[in-house]
A and B are shown apart, each in its own frame.
Chain A
Amino acid sequence: MTAKKRRRPQRPRPTPAEPETTEAVEEEAPQRRPFGSGLLSGGPSAMPPIGRSLGNGMLAIVSSPIMLGIAVVVPLLAWIALLALGFEGRPSLLVDVLALPPISTYFDLGTGESLLSLGPSFLVFIGIAVLLRSLLYGLLAGMIVETLEDGRVSKWGLLRGVTAIPTVLAVNLLSFSLILASNVIFPVLGPGIGLLAAIGALVGGLFFLGFAPTAAVRQQRGVVESIRRSGRAAMLPGSRHVLFCAIYFFIALPVVVGLAPGGSEITANPTLSGWIFILAASVLHLAFMAALAFRWIGVEPAVPEEPVRRRQAQRRQPASRQRGRR
């Protein structure tokens, strides 16, 4: 937050889609390793390391009073709104109220089902929840990007966030569809494999869609292009992005949910320790959101304009090996 680095917010920097850029990326990336390889393993990558990403994400949130304010106010507003609708349940659920999709989608589905059971009113609830969440997450994406770029939040960041709302809406709808599909398809595989497949699908959802809001804010491309570019960024070699997503899921589900004070207690009045945990968890979710944005900003110039075909990548692999033997 030093003043020396203060500058006007950057205009979105759409990378030109000239064919030569694509060719360059296609030629160079496969020379190192096949596209999509090394999702777990490390290596040279344009994407910032996980620890650095998390550190900068956390720093962006905790050093911004506005972002911290959002992290502590949103859970209260969500809780009051749910109680006003007649919700009776565990306040410990609120630990995931600001989670990244698709975990946040689970929160919406769980509260909606508890409140209304399955039926038309449930779908209406989910629709409204997805819209509200998209609005909030779109604005958050704009503010987080501005915080990372300039260390502050202004109207400019909010305006950039507004442009990302359609993309965030699409991400939320895709997450919802993913969960529905998981619940329908994976139980057929049996309790063990089905569960693993369901978890894999959720991690995959975050893996491919996680960058889309930031991409939309930064590049202001269409919904589809932002999502595509998010997927391409995730598949860049050496990014360890699967590991990043797995860490988030591990923290957001078993750790945060499992350690939440009050656990399964049904009450309308969370305890003090419960509130502290909920608010801290919300800060953590925003930090992961910012970490994703940080990773995108780092990798943005290296994201291919066009899909990189695996076959091409594999075909060129021997050349690089030969070079390596020289």
Chain B
Amino acid sequence: MRALLASVSALAMIAAPLLGGTASAQEETAWSQYQGGPAHDGHAPEGPEPPFRVRWTLPAPAGVSLSSAVVEGDVAITVGEEGVYGIDVASGDVAWQIPRDGGPLSVPAIATGARRRRVLVYVEGPALAISGTPSPSASASPTMTDTQATGSPSASPSAAGDQEKVSSVVAVRLSDRKELWRTPLEGVSRSGVTIDDGAVFVGDQNVGGQEGHVYALSLDDGSVTWSQQVGGRADTPIAVADGNAYVVARDADTPRVVVAAFDAATGQRAWSPLSLQVNSTAGSAPTAGGGSLYLGSADRRVRALDPANGIERWNALVLSVFSPATALAYDGTSVFAADVAGGLYRLDAVDGHRLWSFHVNEAVLRSAPVVSGSYALLGLGNGGMVAIDVETGHLAWRAPVTPGLIGSFAISTDAVIAVKGGRDAGLIAFEHDPDGALLDEPSPTEFEAGTSLSRWAIAAVLVFGIALALGLLASRRFGGSPEPDTAEEEEGFEEDEDEAGDEPEDEDETASVADEKEEDR
């Protein structure tokens, strides 16, 4: 018996790492959520490095655009208006799709649920249908039968008119895309999904768009574990780390940005909401890492907060504000932030001092920096993309400009998948180009004394020389000192005086001229 127990325990010891380890390894290496994981640190130490070449492009299959992607193995998953798509990372082909009932596009998330099954969670609706009319796509969805069969705690929203103006969180089993559960929210969600430790976190905004909630749902059955009001629209991804959920909410009335922290398990407020009264609601999504919470706000500052109490540890000034569609990256020692003016900054995570900055001189509207290997990647508003060497802060690679803009990234083991917006909306995948060459360009904000001074010197000689030559010529033509009240002494201005119509020299003369004119009339 003892031998049998020993054999079983030995077998369990061997099998546990194999089974569990596989799943955890999958979670660790996959880009399973916005900016990689629940903390949104945007860091892929083993990610592909430049130079890159385009592996494939995928136009949005339906609708006008796609959401940022997440990666599960060799499949990238993105949310479109009419479907959720699984894209083969190698070829760019659509491997599978799940019908979707419209609504704002937001980033899905993948995690391991009950019975170690991989679960995809995304947000759906509200569809642009007339209230009260059942949505055809939802009712036609083959997953609905399965949903009802699973006994989800939430009712099906497809026929309920009042639910069409709110979003629903939907979970499907990734292996066969069967719907597991569906939970309606109280408002429209744009935040995307964050999953950590068996809980799904989403934010929403009410119909007026000014008040929102943050929800924690059970990954297993979709039941609402807790929900809390936040002081504004919760429309950026919620970061989860160290047992807390961090929300950046925007209040357009005030206007201000509110940073709130909740205990991820209970929903209790971890600390009083931090209100950033900066007369704007611009600001990045939160990023957690290294025992700090980082965010960029509309007063052009990157802030590091103590996650335990919300007290500011440091702040660093940058050149411009942050797009609400961006987030920061954290690679273990540094924080990477990109402002809308195209400045990419590497800040010391300990004290916030700037290690370097690189200005790409292009707007950064929907992209968040990520660190892949030893390079920071950033998508640009002109459809380009840059890779900056993390150590030197120099430009290492630049993608050719393409129509539309480059948004957020997803990193797989051998590809960088970016969402494209604008005219050619869809996805674009880059892979390492063994034949490509790396650049080594410093930021244009680095002063090159020789270049600058020589340019100035040439300009100075030109302007000085031309102006002085013209001045001397004009002096000869018009005479000497142009002091107006000595015009009678200076012949050079006689022509001017004539042209001016016998300008009076003083008040008396002015008066007499005026009187004469009136008398003439």
Q: Is B20 an interface residue (CB 8 A)?
A: no
Q: Is B403 an interface residue (CB 8 A)?
A: no
Q: Is B306 an interface residue (CB 8 A)?
A: no
| Complex interface bits, B267-285 against A, C-beta within 8 A gives 1, otherwise 0 | 0000000000000000000
Contact B361 A266 (CB under 8 A): yes
| Complex interface bits, A281-325 against B, C-beta within 8 A gives 1, otherwise 0 | 001000000000010011011100000000000000000100110
CA distance A33 to B511 in the complex (A): 10
Among the 9-residue stretches B129-137, B425-433, B466-474, the one with 4 or more Cβ atoms under 8 Å from chain A is B466-474
CA distance A308 to B392 in the complex (A): 67
| Complex interface bits, A254-271 against B, C-beta within 8 A gives 1, otherwise 0 | 000000000011111111
Contact B483 A148 (CB under 8 A): yes
Contact B483 A269 (CB under 8 A): no
Known: A114-B319, A148-B481. A301 touches B507 (CB 8 A): yes
Chain B residues with Cβ below 8 Å from A48 are 484, 500, 503
Chain A residues with Cβ below 8 Å from B507 are 24-25, 28-29, 46, 301-302
Q: Is A85 an interface residue (CB 8 A)?
A: no
Contact A45 B447 (CB under 8 A): no
Q: Is B176 an interface residue (CB 8 A)?
A: no
For residue A194, give the distance in angstroms from its CB to the closest CB of chain B. Answer: 16
CA distance A149 to B489 in the complex (A): 12
Q: Is B160 an interface residue (CB 8 A)?
A: no
CA distance A270 to B445 in the complex (A): 10
Chain B residues with Cβ below 8 Å from A265 are 361, 444
Chain A residues with Cβ below 8 Å from B456 are 76, 270, 275
The size bracket of the interface on B is 35 or more
CA distance A265 to B448 in the complex (A): 16
For residue B498, give the distance in angstroms from its CB to the closest CB of chain A. Answer: 11
Contact A63 B472 (CB under 8 A): yes
CA distance A300 to B505 in the complex (A): 10
Contact A62 B511 (CB under 8 A): no
Chain B residues with Cβ below 8 Å from A264 are 361
Chain A residues with Cβ below 8 Å from B357 are 88
CA distance A294 to B482 in the complex (A): 8
Q: Is B116 an interface residue (CB 8 A)?
A: no
Contact A63 B506 (CB under 8 A): no
Q: Is B517 an interface residue (CB 8 A)?
A: yes
Give the interface SS of chain B, mostly helix, strand, loop or mixed: helix
Contact A1 B342 (CB under 8 A): no
Contact B319 A266 (CB under 8 A): yes
Among the 9-residue stretches B63-71, B149-157, B457-465, the one with 4 or more Cβ atoms under 8 Å from chain A is B457-465
Give residues 48-80 of A contacting B (CB, 8 Å): 48-49, 52, 55-56, 59-65, 68-69, 71-73, 76
Chain B residues with Cβ below 8 Å from A283 are 463, 467
Q: Is B446 an interface residue (CB 8 A)?
A: yes
Q: Is A110 an interface residue (CB 8 A)?
A: no
Contact A1 B475 (CB under 8 A): yes
Give residues 76-111 of A contacting B (CB, 8 Å): 76, 83, 88-89
| Complex interface bits, A138-155 against B, C-beta within 8 A gives 1, otherwise 0 | 000000000011110000
| Complex interface bits, A184-208 against B, C-beta within 8 A gives 1, otherwise 0 | 0000000000000000000000000
CA distance A278 to B455 in the complex (A): 12
Which of A62, A76, A151 has the most chain B CB atoms closer than 10 A to its own CB? A62
Known: A1-B480, A323-B515. A46 touches B510 (CB 8 A): yes
Q: Is B479 an interface residue (CB 8 A)?
A: yes
CA distance A212 to B505 in the complex (A): 21
Contact B463 A72 (CB under 8 A): yes
Give the interface SS of chain A, mostly helix, strand, loop or mixed: helix
Give residues 357-372 of B contacting A (CB, 8 Å): 357, 359, 361
Contact A269 B448 (CB under 8 A): yes
Contact A32 B510 (CB under 8 A): yes
Q: Which of A25, A52, A324 contacts B521 (CB 8 A)?
A: A324
Known: A266-B361, A270-B452. A151 touches B480 (CB 8 A): yes
Chain A residues with Cβ below 8 Å from B463 are 68, 71-72, 276, 279-280, 283
Contact B475 A59 (CB under 8 A): yes
Q: Is A8 an interface residue (CB 8 A)?
A: no
CA distance A29 to B359 in the complex (A): 59
Q: Is B74 an interface residue (CB 8 A)?
A: no
Q: Which of A63, A116, A272 contacts B471 (CB 8 A)?
A: A63
Q: Is A5 an interface residue (CB 8 A)?
A: yes
CA distance A77 to B125 in the complex (A): 58
Q: Is B341 an interface residue (CB 8 A)?
A: yes
Which of A5, A25, A64, A68 has the most chain B CB atoms closer than 10 A to its own CB? A5
CA distance A48 to B504 in the complex (A): 9
Q: Which of B445, B464, B521 contacts A88 (CB 8 A)?
A: B445
Q: Is B299 an interface residue (CB 8 A)?
A: yes
CA distance A29 to B504 in the complex (A): 14
Q: Which of B361, B455, B492 contacts A271 (CB 8 A)?
A: B455
Contact A5 B484 (CB under 8 A): no
Chain A residues with Cβ below 8 Å from B458 are 272, 275
Q: Is B314 an interface residue (CB 8 A)?
A: no
For residue B413, give the distance in angstroms from its CB to the closest CB of chain A. Answer: 35
Q: Which of A29, A266, A326 contacts B341 (CB 8 A)?
A: A266
Contact A297 B500 (CB under 8 A): no
For residue A232, give the distance in angstroms from its CB to the closest CB of chain B. Answer: 12
CA distance A212 to B468 in the complex (A): 28
Contact A116 B317 (CB under 8 A): yes
CA distance A274 to B455 in the complex (A): 9
Chain A residues with Cβ below 8 Å from B504 are 44-46
Contact A59 B447 (CB under 8 A): no
Given contacts A2-B475, A49-B500, A88-B343, 10 further A-B contacts (CB under 8 A): A31-B514, A32-B515, A46-B506, A69-B464, A148-B481, A266-B319, A268-B448, A270-B456, A272-B455, A272-B459
In the complex, 27 of the A-B residue pairs with CB atoms within 8 angstroms, ordered by the A residue number, are: A1-B472, A2-B475, A5-B480, A25-B507, A28-B507, A33-B514, A46-B504, A46-B506, A49-B500, A64-B471, A68-B471, A72-B459, A72-B460, A88-B343, A116-B317, A148-B482, A149-B481, A265-B444, A269-B444, A269-B451, A270-B456, A272-B455, A275-B456, A275-B458, A275-B459, A297-B485, A324-B519
- Interface pairs A-B: 3 shortest CB-CB: A62-B471, A275-B459, A63-B471
